[in-house]
Structure 1
Amino acid sequence: MQQKQNSFYIIAITFVATLGGLLFGYDTAVISGAEKSIEAYLITELGLGSLVHGATISSALIGCIIGGIVSGFFSSKFGRKHSLIIASILFLLSALGSAYPEFLFFTKGEPTIALLITFNFYRIIGGIGVGLASAVVPVYIGEIAPANIRGRLVSFNQFAIIFGMLVVYFVNWGIANGQTLEWINDIGWRLMFASEAIPALLFCLFLFFVPETPRYLALNEQDNKALAILTKINGPKIAKNILEEIKQTVTVSSGKLLSFGKTVIVIGILLSVFQQFVGINVALYYAPRIFESMGAAKDASMLQTIVMGLVNVVFTVIAILTVDKLGRKPLLITGSIGMAIGMFGVAGMAFANIIGIGTLIFIIIFTASFMMSWGPICWVLISEIFPYKIRGQAVAIAVAAQWAANYFISSTYPMMMEFSGGLTYGFYGAMSVLSALFVWKFVPETKGKSLEEMEHIWKKTSSEQHQII
């Protein structure tokens, strides 16, 4: 009976935390339904060009980079729980502000540059919330979860991100279905952005009922609270041992970023960069355009995108079920090989100028391979590999690098495609091969290890490097 109560408690905490992941996906994808309305507003009403259109659509990514950078300060200064509460408030402000940007000026929404700047401001605010949540949610779950199921629980965050994207696609469709273009351009796009306020408010309210992580509490000399939470999760006997391990690492660790050497920081950054350089967000953001450019009609391209979305969910579930059984490294290497096959296949089809079902099959192989490996497991490793005293700073650097790589890959895709479609997809395939070699050579296996055991590994590595020097 005690075990069931513990399991329910852990699952409940994880569910609340992964609402941050759902909002991550929701906020980044909500723009897709309003994109045409924004284009009409910018070009028809304000007479601006495609450059401003592209900057407006991607403005949230700027906030994501900022959110990633500041996440270390927030999570260390205010705690993991309160950082997530701040993120939820940012999501709420972004939802309402993006829907009604004219409220700040008390105008009726006449087209003005000031109104456009205000809209972008609120989108950046939402992006900061995304960047903050993307860094803190995996850390929060990783510090709460028992070692034997930690990978599975952190992987739920990736599932929540993908699920959030699917939810908002259906919400956008439900708002626009059967309505005139004029109504969508006047009211519909506002409702799409405002709809995010509902999960944002629920996320904020639920967070008041979950605990701070025991590791953060122990670091701040709140041992009784930390022990109470550990006891509720792991039982009294194990809880005392875990707290003792935590206290030892807290006592002996220094808080300097490079106190465990450069290797762990470089590995964290490269995990984040490879996750984006394999081209996944090109496949997700530009899927309809990819299929249209390869000969699919507009309706068919949207249907193929939905098929990709379902594949994403199914293979993310596979990762959740296997990450604590098979380990992180085997899944990452297998996924990299699958991604390479998928991207080289698409590149070959592009070079041969062949348009057909084969392209869709190769893209599905690529996305399925990513979702069962690099999608969720990169976040798992980022939450696990960094020693506690530098975790906030190190995760912030890794997440900021990830969003910067995301922005770079997404923004260069159209230009690369104009040069050569085959070379573009071949580049992503080459990155997939390099990611496999990187994991095989440099990334440690973390399956079943406590966060404190990982800290001892990096201490040993750092000590050996100093002896060599």
Structure 2
Amino acid sequence: MAATGGLMFGYDIGISGGVTSMPSFLKEFFPTVYKKIHEPGLAESNYCKYDNKGLQLFTSSLYLAALTATMFASTSTRKIGRRITMLIAGIFFIVGTVLNAAATNLAMLIVGRLLLGCGVGFANQAVPVFLSEIAPTRIRAALDILFQLNVTIGILFANIINYFTAQIKVVDTPNSLIERSHLDEGKKVLKKIRGIDNVEPEFNELVEASEMAKEVKHPFRNLLMRKNRPSLVIAILLQVFQQLTGSNAIMFYAPVFFNTLGFAGDTSLYSAVITGAVNVLSTIVSISLVDKLGRRILLLEAGVQMLISQLVIAVVLGLEASRNNC
């Protein structure tokens, strides 16, 4: 249930690329782009036709808001708990969705996207922490990937939340409850999620870890200590290089990419669906293998696969761009 926090993130990635290739959407909110695409006699290529600052603002505003919201979500996750932070993300998603659905001009559309971005920032901060802390050790890696699985499902589908999910009560993690001195409640939740009554060893470890964490007066300063720098640098660079590959841009603009390569309107959307389906299936394969092979093996394999795929995409798009002289 908690992992479904990734659905809206994936939905926002998948839906934007689709609507920006739809004539009705462009005509309503980006008439200049619509005119370039549909006005007869214009010799511009599709690359040039989609070059519009308003359209770029529409797509990037979500990520700008997500980046900013993450700064606040870090404190929220620590101070008021993972569960409350996820609920805050849900509120942002609901308000942003309603505003976007009711949008009559570009300003309302941008504000809605900003609110959705805040939801992304809070969800992406709290959900992975929640999953890693609540999961049994033997399947922790697989459960962590459930968030990514939901992101890929969100890219593939625009799901409506079922009414009955409101009847499911989501508890906070034992770690978060213990951090906030709710020891009895933390032990109760630990018994519930482990399915056994004898949780004393794990509970005592959590309490001890919480006490040790409270003794750290300057956590960010300690993070920068020499002994912690290698792990810190690796963690940061992994995320940086993942973004620099441009894979998100390809998923985000998939229908537009296929359109620029000569696919017709419906065919470009259909091709994007195939890409999204492969994305989901690949994530399912990762879930089944990560606890057996380990994170490092999958990371190295994915890096090689990504390199080859991106080189092919770069060559194809480069040839197309040079041919259009855009």
TM-score band, normalised by the shorter chain?
A: 0.7 to 0.9
Opposite residue 40 of structure 1, the aligned amino acid is K
* 1:259 matched residue in structure 2: 222
* 1:18 matched residue in structure 2: 3
The 5-angstrom pairing of residues 82-101 of structure 1 reads 82-101=84-103
Please tell me whether residue 40 in structure 1 is matched to residue 27 in structure 2: yes
CA 1:159–1:43: 2 relative to 1, 3 Å: closer
The 5-angstrom pairing of residues 271-286 of structure 1 reads 271-286=238-253
Please tell me whether residue 231 in structure 1 is matched to residue 221 in structure 2: no
Opposite residue 97 of structure 2, the aligned amino acid is A
* 2:72 matched residue in structure 1: 70
Please tell me whether residue 325 in structure 1 is matched to residue 292 in structure 2: yes
Please tell me whether residue 240 in structure 1 is matched to residue 193 in structure 2: no
Q: After TM superposition, give the deviation of residue 218 of structure 1 in Å.
A: 1.1
CA 1:290–1:148: 2 relative to 1, 3 Å: same
Q: 1:114-172 CA distances to partner (integer Å, 9 max, x unpaired)?
A: x532331121011100111112111111111111111111111111111112112xxxx
* 1:123 matched residue in structure 2: 113
CA 1:156–1:73: 2 relative to 1, 3 Å: same
The 5-angstrom pairing of residues 415-454 of structure 1 reads none
SS for the counterpart of 1:41 is: helix
- For 1:303 and 1:39, the matched residues in 2 are separated by 19
- For 1:202 and 1:61, the matched residues in 2 are separated by 31
Q: 1:332-363 CA distances to partner (integer Å, 9 max, x unpaired)?
A: 01111111222234445567x5x9xxxxxxxx
- For 2:317 and 2:100, the matched residues in 1 are separated by 39
* 2:62 matched residue in structure 1: 60
Q: 1:305-354 CA distances to partner (integer Å, 9 max, x unpaired)?
A: 22211111111100011111111111101111111222234445567x5x
- For 2:316 and 2:31, the matched residues in 1 are separated by 38
Sequence identity percentage: 28
* 2:125 matched residue in structure 1: 135
- For 1:98 and 1:349, the matched residues in 2 are separated by 34
TM-score by length of 2: 0.81
CA 1:266–1:26: 2 relative to 1, 3 Å: same
* 2:45 matched residue in structure 1: none
* 2:82 matched residue in structure 1: 80
Please tell me whether residue 313 in structure 1 is matched to residue 275 in structure 2: no
- Structure 2: state its 5+ residue gaps: 36-50
On the 8 A contact 2:18/2:269 being kept in 1, the answer is no
Opposite residue 245 of structure 1, the aligned amino acid is E
Q: After TM superposition, give the deviation of residue 200 of structure 1 in Å.
A: 9.2
CA 1:202–1:96: 2 relative to 1, 3 Å: farther
Opposite residue 69 of structure 1, the aligned amino acid is M
* 1:301 matched residue in structure 2: 268
* 1:29 matched residue in structure 2: 14
The total of aligned residue pairs comes to 300
- For 1:420 and 1:241, the matched residues in 2 are separated by 66
On the 8 A contact 1:28/1:60 being kept in 2, the answer is no
The 5-angstrom pairing of residues 408-419 of structure 1 reads none
After the TM superposition, which of the residue ranges 126-135 and 271-280 deviates more from structure 2? 271-280
Match of 1:151 among 118, 141, 150: 141
SS for the counterpart of 2:221 is: coil
Q: After TM superposition, give the deviation of residue 46 of structure 1 in Å.
A: 12
- For 2:323 and 2:291, the matched residues in 1 are separated by 42
- For 2:314 and 2:18, the matched residues in 1 are separated by 29
* 2:46 matched residue in structure 1: none
CA 1:71–1:268: 2 relative to 1, 3 Å: farther
SS for the counterpart of 1:59 is: helix
Opposite residue 236 of structure 1, the aligned amino acid is D
The runs of at least 4 aligned residues of structure 1 exceeding 6 Å deviation read 45-49, 200-203, 417-421
TM-score by length of 1: 0.58
- Structure 1: state its 5+ residue gaps: 1-15, 102-108, 110-114, 169-195, 356-416, 422-469
Q: After TM superposition, give the deviation of residue 86 of structure 1 in Å.
A: 0.8
Q: After TM superposition, give the deviation of residue 90 of structure 1 in Å.
A: 0.9
- For 1:320 and 1:23, the matched residues in 2 are separated by 20
SS for the counterpart of 1:221 is: coil
SS for the counterpart of 1:321 is: helix
SS for the counterpart of 2:171 is: coil
CA 1:273–1:46: 2 relative to 1, 3 Å: closer
- For 2:176 and 2:152, the matched residues in 1 are separated by 29
- For 1:43 and 1:335, the matched residues in 2 are separated by 37
- For 1:148 and 1:218, the matched residues in 2 are separated by 22
* 1:199 matched residue in structure 2: 161
Q: After TM superposition, give the deviation of residue 47 of structure 1 in Å.
A: 11
- For 1:30 and 1:43, the matched residues in 2 are separated by 16
On the 8 A contact 2:14/2:251 being kept in 1, the answer is no
On the 8 A contact 2:16/2:252 being kept in 1, the answer is no
On the 8 A contact 1:98/1:123 being kept in 2, the answer is yes
Please tell me whether residue 220 in structure 1 is matched to residue 146 in structure 2: no
Match of 1:340 among 297, 307, 312: 307
